[in-house]
Amino acid sequence: MKKKIELVNASTLTTRSTALSILIIALLFFIFGFTTWINAILIPYFKIACELNTASSLLVAFAFYIAYFVMAIPAAHLLEKVGFKKGIMIGFWIMAAGALIFVPAALTRTYGIFLLGLFSIGTGLAILQPAANTFITLIGPKERAAQRMSIMGVCNKTAGIIAPLILAAVILRPTDTELFKQLPSMSEAVRNATLDELIQRVIVPYLVMALVLFGFGIFIRFSILPEIDTNTENNAVTDANSGKTSIVHFPYLILGALAIFLHVGSQVVGINTIIGYAQYLNLPLLEAKVFPSYILGVTMLGFLSGIILIPKFISHLNVLRICTTSAIVLTLLFFLVHGQVNFLGHTADLSIWILVILGLSNSLMYSTIWPLALNELGRFTKMGGSILVMGLSGSALVPLIYGHFADQYNPHLAYWVLMPCYVYLVFYAFYGYRIRNWSLRVN
């Protein structure tokens, strides 16, 4: 006989259980960050090893993040059927399978198989993300949800800082700069042999990743993590939603999912293209490889500020307004301010450092949009979380738009793609989050 999943109301958890649960979820966010931001080094690496243009190389991000859009709703039904813990285990095992796909992809140097592996990893994350984000939103007081999300963000971005550096240390050699320069002049046979050796360097790190992900899935399945009941909230919320039969009856959620779409898309554009932009500014790959970590380091400072300031000194809504407005200002400065500067041992145009600082504006958008969009959904909370996770597919599509313009014009002008993203985010921060019906009247 099938054992029924025992659901727990988050408000009944002891302080110890809550703290341990948050710690486990924080570990999940670290793994999310490691498997996600490692793509920042894969993009320029595949561009060389698989001989791609900019737009084609950014299919790394597309294949990875489009899984969120394709699999978010199936993931919600899976979590509803098997529960959070078993669902998280399945998600980790799917990610492990995706990492294993890198082995035949590397042995044959077939870019399409790499993209299949990345899609599989993204599919696993499409199961994990709604579970983890919804869990951390509900497990404590609502007014501190953005603060808890900021803590998760620190874990995510800490992993993001070290992931590209670790992978770069494993797959890149000090002599590669000269090797990359010699590739165009090599004979076809020698170049193919060199590129085969280059691409096969990813086999060992991704085999290790597969084993770790598989083991962590088993750990979560038998951990003390409770099965949170997301179908019930307080009576006032239940009564207010009694006449609503579909998730589309919550405009602020749908608009919030679009906000997530544009936020993560613009954030990934900055992180995943800055190496290419540094190379456009004539910095070699072995020097440029550290710039994603600079952005993520600045982003982590934003998360730490959120932990300290929210909600004691400033509300998460005002934080969102500050972040979105400052993002527009910095984007304008990126195009208006120029000049060579020497900083942290790099001599480059000032614009690349403005791109790094933009990470501070991006830092707290996700953690402040999420609680605004999930507010008072009641029994629709779990599906609402999956709708928001679908918004993560912005990381698949917005970078492709950037890549198109980078190939058509240049990597600098292509960053204009950020401006409409931030304009909409300002709209959501000041108006969109209050829309309770599609007649555009606000409460």
Tell me which residue range forms the domain holding 32: 13-231+246-434
The yes-or-no verdict on residue 433 having pLDDT over 80 is: yes
List Cβ neighbours of 190 (8 Å cut-off, separation of 6 or more). Answer: none
Q: Distance between CA 417 and CA 400 in Å, rounded?
A: 10
Tell me, what DSSP letter sits at residue 13? S
Tell me, what DSSP letter sits at residue 228? B
Residue type, 183: L
Q: Distance between CA 261 and CA 266 in Å, rounded?
A: 9
Question: What pLDDT score was predicted for residue 169?
Answer: 87
Tell me the pLDDT band of 127, cut-offs 50, 70 and 90.
confident
Cα–Cα nearest to 255, from 431, 24, 35: 431
Tell me the pLDDT band of 22, cut-offs 50, 70 and 90.
confident
Question: What pLDDT score was predicted for residue 109?
Answer: 92
Domain assignment of residue 206, yes or no: yes
The yes-or-no verdict on residue 370 having pLDDT over 50 is: yes
List Cβ neighbours of 185 (8 Å cut-off, separation of 6 or more). Answer: none
Q: Among the listed ranges 69-73, 332-336, 376-380, which one has the minimum average pLDDT value?
A: 376-380
Domain assignment of residue 236, yes or no: no
Domain assignment of residue 237, yes or no: no
Q: Distance between CA 106 and CA 31 in Å, rounded?
A: 23
Give pLDDT tens digits for 319-368.
999 999 999 999 999 999 989 999 888 889 999 999 999 999 998 898 88
Mean pLDDT, range 160-165, rounded to an integer: 82
Give pLDDT tens digits for 224-259.
776 666 555 444 455 455 556 677 788 888 999 999
Cα–Cα nearest to 277, from 294, 300, 301: 294
Tell me the pLDDT band of 9, cut-offs 50, 70 and 90.
low
Domain assignment of residue 383, yes or no: yes
285 neighbors 177 (Cβ within 8 angstroms) = yes
What is the distance, to the nearest Å, from the Cα of residue 308 to the centroid of all Cα atoms in its chain?
23
Cα–Cα nearest to 271, from 442, 39, 441, 7: 39
Domain assignment of residue 238, yes or no: no
φ, ψ for residue 196 (rounded to 5)?
Answer: -60, -45
Cα–Cα nearest to 366, from 269, 256, 270, 291: 256
Mean pLDDT, range 390-410, rounded to an integer: 88
Task: Give the number of domains in the chain.
Answer: 1
Torsion of the alpha carbons at 105, 107, 108 and 113, rounded to the nearest 10: 0
Question: What pLDDT score was predicted for residue 236?
Answer: 45
The yes-or-no verdict on residue 11 having pLDDT over 60 is: no
Domain assignment of residue 95, yes or no: yes
% helix, strand, coil for the chain, step of 5: 80, 5, 20
Q: Is 423 exposed, middle or buried (CB count within 10 Å of its CB: 0-12, 13-18, 19+)?
A: middle
Question: What pLDDT score was predicted for residue 243?
Answer: 58
φ, ψ for residue 347 (rounded to 5)?
Answer: -110, 110
Partner residues linked to 348 by β-bridges: 341
Question: What pLDDT score was predicted for residue 202?
Answer: 92
Does residue 6 or residue 1 have the better pLDDT? 6
- The model carries a pTM of 0.74
CATH number for 117: 1.20.1250.20
Q: Distance between CA 210 and CA 244 in Å, rounded?
A: 43
Cα–Cα distances (Å) from 149 to 137, 248, 279, in that order, read 7, 25, 34
Does residue 62 or residue 3 have the better pLDDT? 62
Three-state secondary structure of 340-389 = EEEECCEEEEHHHHHHHHHHHHHHCHHHHHHHHHHCCCHHHHHHHHHHHH
The rounded radius of gyration (Å) of the Cα atoms in the chain is: 22
**For residue 129, what are its two tokens?**
């993300």
The yes-or-no verdict on residue 88 having pLDDT over 60 is: yes
Domain assignment of residue 57, yes or no: yes
Domain assignment of residue 285, yes or no: yes
Q: What is the mean pLDDT of the chain?
A: 84
Torsion of the alpha carbons at 328, 334, 335 and 341, rounded to the nearest 10: 160
**For residue 243, what are its two tokens?**
């006449």
Q: Distance between CA 263 and CA 355 in Å, rounded?
A: 15
